[in-house]
């Protein structure tokens, strides 16, 4: 800790954010386990570490937050512009001592030939050096050829160091290290041995959430022990310190900025409930924060609470794994009944993916059928492979109350369930331009003041979502208090 702290400077400008992107040649190279161990190792040394995750990822981000003790944010150029990406780094990392951005998939893997929305694009947008994690299995000198190719593929991407993963023995490490440092002219800052314990359980959507895993802290400490022993933390910290200033298009950014929203009545501060528990944990922190600016937000557990809070003006149900907790969700019939009755009476409810599944009649697995809220007339069937996966573009239709008509909305979806037995008279709020949605052409089921979609939205990329939810809550609050006055009068 003493060596690392001696590298700290007290007179850095706010744009001199020490930072690194963690990249790899491909997925399953060990980026996440390395990143988690690195975050925890730095945090244990008393450093304030800010984690970021590239792409639309809730699960890895939750593990990052647990490892660093700081809330992880997502950076994604598909639904965030360059200014928003750099603003997020400034907002969250200006008071931190090091920032770690974990990439996704292979370094240059993106949506098109130009590598749009790739890890490399995030590195270029933010002018952040890359620390390259390579699975060294059955390679020695060839690793240098691989690294050299990644170095020269895009000269604007600066790979500043390599971490060798799954190293077999000392000679394996020696040959690979010497080849990389001789031919690529960059340091090897770590060599992690093969270890079957360096893994996190996963399921169909990726890793299990850290909230489900009983030994999260023990695993994170073990990862940190391995990284501390086999990786040069001081060298990595120095590489991060050498990151250049954030680029010029962030000049006009004001710290803690967020989109300006338009509301129907600014004198009313509605009360919005958010179902947050092990079954529903897929939320972007920015979504919750933007709601808190204009509403009183209360957390609800669909697993433990048997009633909704009093005087609720809207309900937000995010994604998660309702199929994993289906038996417990079914058992909580008191809350399910209360949500159904509230929705029938006009309570605005916005639901994403897992929330959509929860509002239907049932969730069907390969072996059982579990009753859900029953507010919307459909069932969901779990399948063995993704039914919708990737970035989405939706266009809003006039059959919904939540967004301006013909708004183009960028989001993402990742679900192994599909909607079945859907009543024919329901209206859709989204036309699918990219993605799958509910039936390949539509998404966003609309019923009374309810909007339920497979599509996930990030508030920075779609401020209209927050406007819609808060305005629906304000209108409902007005209606509720008008009725109360009539009764009391």
Catalytic residue set = 353
* Residue 287 dihedral angles phi and psi, to the nearest 5°: -65, -45
Which of 353, 289, 290, 293 lies closest to 317 in space, CA to CA? Answer: 353
Contact 277, 301 (CB under 8 A): yes
3-state secondary structure of 144: helix
Listed in sequence order, the residues at least 6 apart from 248 whose beta carbon sits closer than 8 Å to its beta carbon are none
Looking at 53-118, list the stretches that DSSP marks H as alpha helix, in order from N- to C-terminal side. Answer: 59-68, 82-93
Helices 233-241 and 31-44 pack at an angle, to 10 degrees, of: 90
Helices 59-68 and 216-230 pack at an angle, to 10 degrees, of: 70
Helices 31-44 and 59-68 pack at an angle, to 10 degrees, of: 20
Looking at 248-386, list the stretches that DSSP marks H as alpha helix, in order from N- to C-terminal side. Answer: 285-292, 326-331, 333-344, 354-359
Listed in sequence order, the residues at least 6 apart from 146 whose beta carbon sits closer than 8 Å to its beta carbon are 25, 134, 139
**CA dist., res. 171 & res. 411, Å (int):** 47
3-state secondary structure of 355: helix
Tell me the Ramachandran region of residue 146: left when phi exceeds 0, alpha when psi lies from -120 to 50, beta otherwise: alpha
Contact 393, 442 (CB under 8 A): no
Contact 295, 316 (CB under 8 A): no
Contact 34, 167 (CB under 8 A): no
**CA dist., res. 115 & res. 153, Å (int):** 11
**CA dist., res. 459 & res. 259, Å (int):** 9
């Amino acid at each position: 800790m003493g060596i690392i702290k001696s590298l700290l400077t007290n007179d850095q400008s706010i744009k001199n954010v020490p930072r690194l992107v963690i990249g790899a040649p491909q997925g399953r190279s060990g980026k996440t386990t390395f990143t988690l161990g690195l975050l925890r190792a730095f945090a244990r040394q008393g450093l304030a570490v800010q984690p970021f995750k590239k792409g639309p990822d809730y699960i890895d981000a939750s593990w990052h937050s647990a490892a660093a003790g700081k809330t992880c944010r997502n950076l994604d150029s598909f639904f965030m512009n360059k200014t928003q990406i750099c603003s997020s780094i400034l907002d969250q990392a200006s008071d931190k001592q090091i920032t770690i951005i974990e990439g996704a998939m292979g370094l240059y893997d993106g949506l098109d030939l130009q590598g749009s929305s790739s890890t490399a694009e995030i590195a270029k947008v933010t002018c952040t050096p890359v620390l390259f994690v390579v699975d060294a299995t059955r390679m020695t000198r060839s690793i240098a050829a691989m690294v050299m190719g990644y170095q020269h593929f895009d000269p604007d991407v600066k790979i500043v160091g390599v971490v060798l993963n799954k190293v077999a023995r000392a000679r394996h490490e020696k040959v690979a290290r010497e080849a990389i440092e001789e031919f690529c002219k960059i340091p090897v800052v770590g060599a992690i041995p093969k270890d079957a314990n360096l893994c996190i359980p996963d399921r169909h959507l990726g890793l299990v959430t850290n909230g489900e895993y009983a030994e999260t802290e023990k695993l994170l400490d073990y990862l940190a022990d391995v990284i501390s022993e086999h990786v040069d933390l001081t060298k990595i910290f120095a590489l991060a310190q050498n990151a250049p200033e954030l680029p010029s298009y962030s000049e006009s950014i004001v710290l803690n900025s967020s989109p300006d929203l338009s509301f129907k009545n600014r004198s009313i501060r509605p009360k919005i409930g958010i179902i947050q528990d092990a079954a529903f944990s897929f939320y972007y922190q920015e979504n919750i924060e933007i709601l808190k600016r204009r509403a009183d937000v209360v957390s609800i557990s669909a697993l433990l609470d048997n009633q909704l809070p009093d005087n609720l003006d809207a309900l937000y149900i995010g994604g998660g794994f309702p199929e994993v907790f289906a038996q417990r969700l079914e058992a909580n019939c008191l809350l399910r009944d209360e949500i159904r009755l509230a929705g029938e009476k006009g309570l605005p409810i916005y639901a994403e993916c897992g929330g959509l599944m929860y509002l239907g009649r049932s969730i069907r697995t390969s072996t059982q059928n579990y009753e859900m809220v029953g507010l919307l007339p459909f069932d969901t069937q779990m399948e063995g492979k993704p039914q919708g996966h990737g970035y989405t573009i939706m266009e809003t239709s006039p059959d919904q109350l939540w967004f301006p008509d013909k708004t183009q909305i960028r989001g993402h979806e990742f679900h192994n369930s599909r909607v079945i037995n859907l009543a024919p008279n329901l209206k859709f709020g989204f036309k699918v331009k990219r993605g799958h949605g509910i039936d390949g052409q539509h998404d966003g089921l609309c019923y009374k003041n309810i909007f339920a979609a497979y599509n996930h939205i990030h508030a920075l990329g779609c401020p209209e979502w927050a406007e819609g939810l808060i305005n629906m809550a304000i209108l409902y609050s007005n209606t509720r208090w008008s009725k109360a006055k009539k009764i009391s009068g």
